[in-house]
C-alpha cells in the first residue's frame, strides 16, 4: 500500500522470487442489493485496498485500479448520477491532499481535486501507507524466518520501550483529520464515510506460518496494531462529522490463513487474482456489502 513506488510488488520480492499472477480465474462477484446511497455524485478516495491491485480488470495501470473494486460495485448498485474513483495503490494522506506519483512513476494529481461542491457521497480509505504497511509486512515476514515460534517483529518495533508502530498510528491521526476537513470544505453537503481495513491475520490465535509468514507470537501483536489503526480511523471520522464503516468485523474468519475459496485477503503467494496481502475480488465485494449495509442503516 509508500515511496519509493512499487511497494506492493517489491515487498513480496524481498521475501521470495515469486511472480505475482496477473491472470487467473476471476471470482464471481454478485452485485450488492440496492441501498439508500446518496443518488448524486460519488467520489472514492483511497489507497490500494480501495483500488484493488491485480484484480481483473485493471483500468489504470499507474494506480493498479480495478473496475471490480468496492467503489465500482457500490456505484453500480446505487446508480449514482456520476462517479469518480481516484484511489491509487501506494497512496498516503499526502497523495490525497497534494498529489504524488503512481506505480509507474507517472504523476497523479491530488485525489481531493475530484471532490466538487455538488458531490453527494465521498468514501475515504487511507492510513495504511502512512504507518508503512508494506514495510511492516515484509520486515515481519523476513524476521519470521529466523524465529517462527517467537516474536522477532514485536521485539524489533518495541525495542527501547517505545512501540514504534503504535506511535505511527498516533502520528497518522492528524493527517487523516486533515484529509477529512479538506473533503468537508470541498463538499460541505456530502456524506463522508471512512472505511477501516479488513483482517489480514486471524482474529484469534497465532496465524498459519509458513503459509502466511508471520511468527506465531507476532500475530497477536500485529493484530493489535491493525485494530489500533481502525480505532484511530473510527475516532477521526466521528470527530470530523464523518461516518465510520467497519469492514474488519465482517472479514473475521476470512483472513489470509483461510482457504482460497473463503479468504478476503491474499497471502504472500496469491491463489486468487490480487496483490500479496491485499483484498481479492471477494474482499472487495465484502467491503462493498458492508458499506452498503451501513449506508442503508
* pLDDT tens-place string over residues 157-183: 999 999 999 999 999 999 999 999 999
Q: Is 278 a catalytic residue?
A: yes
- The least confident of 26-40, 128-142, 244-258 is 26-40
pLDDT for the residue numbered 79 = 83
Lowest mean pLDDT across 30-39, 56-65, 79-88, 243-252: 30-39
| Residues in Cβ contact with 15 at an 8 Å cutoff, skipping those fewer than 6 apart | 138, 141, 142, 213, 268
Q: What is the pLDDT of residue 297?
A: 84
Stretch 284-296: mean pLDDT: 96
Kindly give the interhelix angle for 164-186 and 218-239, rounded to the nearest 10 degrees. 30
Binning pLDDT at 50, 70 and 90, where does residue 81 land? confident
Q: Identify whether 100 is preceded by a cis peptide bond (ω within 30 of 0).
A: no
Q: How far is CA 182 from CA 11, 78, 188, in A?
A: 31, 25, 10
Beta bridge partners of 66: 58
pLDDT at 241 over 90: yes
* Catalytic-role residue among 72, 80, 278, 289: 278
Helix, strand, coil content of the chain in percent (nearest 5)? 40, 10, 50
Q: Give the pTM.
A: 0.89
Residue with cell 504497511: 133
Where does the pLDDT of residue 36 fall: very low under 50, low under 70, confident under 90, or very high at 90 and above?
low
Q: How many helices (H) and strands (E) does the chain have?
A: 9, 9
* 264 in Cβ contact with 286 (< 8 Å): yes
For residue 83, give every residue at least 6 positions away whose Cβ sits within 8 Å of its Cβ, in sequence order, or none. Answer: 41, 42, 43, 44, 71, 75
Between CA 263 and CA 271 the distance in angstroms is 10
Average pLDDT over the chain reads: 90
Task: Decide: 51 and 195 in contact? Cβ < 8 Å.
Answer: no
Rounded Cα–Cα distance for residues 97 and 16 (Å): 35
In this prediction, residue 289 carries a pLDDT of 98
Can you give the pLDDT at residue 35? 44
Q: Residue 24 pLDDT > 70, yes or no?
A: no
* CA–CA distance, 63 with 46 (Å, rounded to integer): 11
Flag whether pLDDT at 31 surpasses 80.
no
Phi, psi of 124 (to 5 degrees): -130, 125
Q: Does domain 7-131+173-200+231-295 have CATH number 3.40.50.1110?
A: yes
Question: 281-295 and 70-78 are packed helices; what angle lies between their axes, rounded to 10 degrees?
Answer: 50
DSSP 205: S
When pLDDT is cut at 50, 70 and 90, the band that residue 20 belongs to is very low
pLDDT in tens, 182-221: 999 999 999 999 999 999 999 999 999 999 999 999 999 9
Q: Rounded to an integer, what distance in angstroms lies between the CA atom of residue 86 and that of residue 50?
A: 9
Task: Give 25's pLDDT tier (boundaries 50, 70, 90).
Answer: very low
Q: Provide DSSP, 78-118.
A: HT-SEEEE---TT--HHHHHH-EE-TTS-EE--GGGG--TT
Distance CA 143, CA 113 (A): 40
Annotated catalytic residue, options 48, 89, 134, 138:
48
pLDDT at 205: 98
Inter-residue contact 94 to 100 (CB < 8 Å): yes
Amino acid at each position: 500500500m509508500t515511496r519509493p513506488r512499487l511497494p506492493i510488488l517489491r515487498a513480496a520480492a524481498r521475501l521470495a522470487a515469486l511472480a505475482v499472477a496477473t491472470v487467473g480465474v476471476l471470482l464471481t462477484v454478485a452485485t450488492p442489493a440496492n441501498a439508500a446511497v446518496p443518488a448524486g455524485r460519488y467520489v472514492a478516495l483511497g489507497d490500494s485496498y480501495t483500488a484493488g491491485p491485480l484484480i481483473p480488470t485493471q483500468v489504470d495501470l499507474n494506480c493498479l485500479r480495478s473496475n471490480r473494486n468496492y467503489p465500482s460495485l457500490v456505484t453500480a448498485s446505487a446508480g449514482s448520477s456520476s462517479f469518480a474513483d481516484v484511489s491509487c495503490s501506494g497512496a498516503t494522506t499526502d497523495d490525497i491532499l497534494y498529489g504524488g506519483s503512481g506505480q509507474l512513476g507517472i504523476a497523479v494529481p491530488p485525489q481531493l481535486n475530484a471532490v466538487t461542491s455538488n458531490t453527494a457521497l465521498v468514501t475515504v480509505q487511507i492510513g495504511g501507507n502512512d504507518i508503512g504497511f508494506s514495510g511492516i509486512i515484509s520486515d515481519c515476514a523476513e524476521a519470521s524466518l529466523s524465529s517462527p515460534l517467537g516474536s522477532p517483529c514485536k521485539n524489533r518495533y518495541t525495542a527501547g520501550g517505545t512501540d514504534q508502530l503504535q506511535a505511527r498510528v498516533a502520528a497518522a491521526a492528524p493527517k487523516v483529520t486533515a484529509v477529512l476537513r479538506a473533503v468537508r470544505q470541498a463538499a460541505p453537503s456530502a456524506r463522508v464515510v471512512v472505511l477501516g481495513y479488513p483482517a489480514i491475520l486471524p482474529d484469534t490465535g497465532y496465524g498459519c506460518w509458513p503459509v502466511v509468514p508471520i511468527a506465531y507470537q507476532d500475530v497477536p501483536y500485529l493484530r493489535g496494531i491493525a485494530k489500533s489503526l481502525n480505532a484511530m480511523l473510527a475516532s477521526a471520522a466521528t470527530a470530523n462529522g464523518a461516518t465510520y464503516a467497519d469492514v474488519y468485523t465482517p472479514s473475521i474468519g476470512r483472513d489470509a490463513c483461510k482457504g482460497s475459496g473463503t479468504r478476503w485477503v491474499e497471502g504472500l503467494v496469491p491463489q486468487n487474482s490480487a496483490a500479496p496481502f491485499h483484498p481479492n475480488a471477494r474482499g472487495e465485494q465484502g467491503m462493498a456489502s458492508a458499506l452498503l449495509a451501513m449506508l442503508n442503516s
